[in-house]
Amino acid sequence: MVKGDQKIIDALNKDRADELAAIIQYMGHHYEAKGVESPAVIELFKSTAKDEMKHAELLAERIVCLGGEPTKKPSEIKKGGDLKKMIQDDLDSENGAIANYKEHIKLCAELGDPATRLLLEQILNDEEGHADTWETTLGIKK
């Protein structure tokens, strides 16, 4: 293992745990959402969960490539509440993921791992899109 790889593996496993939590959270919201405006949002929950599944898979593949073992344990999952609370919880999770990915991209640049940095930048782009979707859904203007 190359020096610095363990720091990157640990960062990727943190990201993977968050992605696993996001999958569970989004799918829970997909099943539990109720209300007049829920049909369109339910599909957003489901499609976003599928994006997060792809992220979790990409992170696992990179962790294995670096000689690590991908975590199978999700981080904290938020559940319950009305549709607005669900969306706000998801937006909060996306904003947390964005901050983590930016930090981990910087770590990869510092440790000289451009391949992992590029992967994280691609995932970050998706996460920023998710946050924008939830902000739009909630009527938040930036």
Summarised one tens digit per residue, pLDDT across range 102-131 is 999 999 999 999 999 999 999 999 999 999
Side chain identity at residue 123, one-letter code: I
Instruction: Name the domain count of the chain.
Output: 1
Domain-embedded: residue 73: no
Residue 2 pLDDT grade (very low, low, confident, very high; cuts 50, 70, 90): low
Q: What is the pTM (predicted TM-score) of this model?
A: 0.92
Domain-embedded: residue 74: no
pLDDT of 73-104, one tens digit each?
Answer: 999 999 888 889 999 999 999 999 999 999 99
pLDDT of residue 39 exceeding 90: no
Domain coverage including residue 53: 5-66+80-138
pLDDT of residue 35 exceeding 90: no
